[in-house]
Amino acid sequence: MNRYVVRYYFTEGFRGIFLHAFSSFAAVGVITACLLIMGSFTLVAVNVQAMVTEMEQSSEIVVDIDESLHDSAAKSVGSRISELDNVQRADFVSREDSYNASLEKLGEILMQGVPIDTFWHKYKVYLKDVQYAEETKRQLESIPGVSHVRVERDLLNRLLSIRQVVQTVSAVLIVALLIVSLFIMQNTIKLATFERREEIAIMRVVGATKGFIRWPFVVEGFILGSLAGLLAYFTQVFAYNRFEGALGDVQLTSFSELWLPVLAVFVLTGFLVGVFGSVMTIRKYLKA
């Protein structure tokens, strides 16, 4: 493919955009809006996922150590706990620490007469993934020296439910908006082919190949889709920064950590929507 042919494709692609400027503007606007909605909801999902992950990492399983074990033996159990695959860390809490915490919380009057031996040595165990909390609980109970394992099932179940709902809704919304964007691009290219139907018919009569006829429309879709992707990206940056500033003390994931994947996804999605929408429409029109 020589440079003159490539220049012709891009010239005709640009000409097609301005030939039906209103529908091109509408296509860019709708695809940009779809990408913005998709991107905004995805960013919300990313931040919710980060918050849920942080909550998961701060949620703990309390492991009570057998009361017959002395300090050194109780601390040695921690090495067995830390060896488990799903354990992020295990913090040792001596009976003295538990007693002092209760003393500070309840006061000397209420704690008067309560012996320190009432409290047990224990570990606060933090998990890598709460999805495997029950399996980890069984592993903890099998460790010698462990007397009892307490899991906050309600909290863990709520965290798992939140994560599952966010992931499901995000996936459904993204697919729906991609279909809408593809449909809009198809209609735009369909209008372009209809307005140039006589020109296409003449080109086919004089022997132009289907590829030669098709490429200007593909270029047109590529330009419109990529433009929509870039426009959506810069709008998303502005909206995210304004929203982050308005929240005040609520910490969101910094956009400096997200800008590259967001830019890549927006431009690539716009590109694919434009190109595939064009190819599907012109192929059907040419009955290729």
| Bigger pLDDT: 36 vs 158 | 36
- Angle (nearest 5°) at CA 226 between 220 and 227: 90
Amino acid at 158: R
> Tokens 């890549």, residue?
264
Alpha-helical (H) ranges within the chain are 3-19, 21-58, 71-82, 95-106, 108-111, 133-141, 153-195, 197-205, 210-247, 259-286
Handedness of CA 267, 270, 272, 275 (dihedral sign): negative
Evaluate whether 131 touches 41 at the Cβ level (below 8 Å): no
Average pLDDT, the chain: 80
Instruction: Identify which of 175, 188, 151 has the alpha carbon closest to the alpha carbon of residue 278.
Output: 188
* Burial of 77 per CB tally in 10 Å (0-12, 13-18, 19+): buried
Confidence of residue 109 (pLDDT cuts 50, 70, 90): low
- Which phi-psi region, left, alpha or beta, contains residue 94 (left: φ > 0; alpha: ψ -120 to 50)? beta
Tell me: pLDDT of 288 over 60. Answer: no
**Residue holding tokens 């434009």?**
274
Tokens representing residue 163 in the block: 């994560």
User: How large is the average pLDDT for residues 226-247?
Assistant: 88
pLDDT at residue 192, rounded to an integer:
64
The reported pLDDT for the residue numbered 273 is 81
Contact 60, 90 (CB under 8 A): no
d(CA 274, CA 268): 10
Task: Kindly report whether the global pTM for this prediction surpasses the value 0.85.
Answer: no
Q: What's the pLDDT score for residue 230?
A: 93
**Most confident of the ranges 128-137, 176-185, 255-264, 272-281:** 255-264
**Residues composing the chain:** 288
Which CATH number fits the domain 60-151, given the four candidates 3.40.50.720, 3.30.70.3040, 3.40.640.10, 3.10.310.30? 3.30.70.3040
Domain map (residue ranges) of the chain? 3-54+159-286, 60-151
Mean pLDDT of 58-77: 81
pLDDT at 50 over 90: no
What is the C-alpha to C-alpha distance for residues 85 and 150, in angstroms, rounded to an integer?
19
Q: pLDDT tens-digit profile of 163-211? A: 778 778 878 877 887 787 777 766 766 766 676 677 777 777 888 788 8
Among residues 50, 124, 123, 132, the alpha carbon closest in space to that of 85 is found at 132
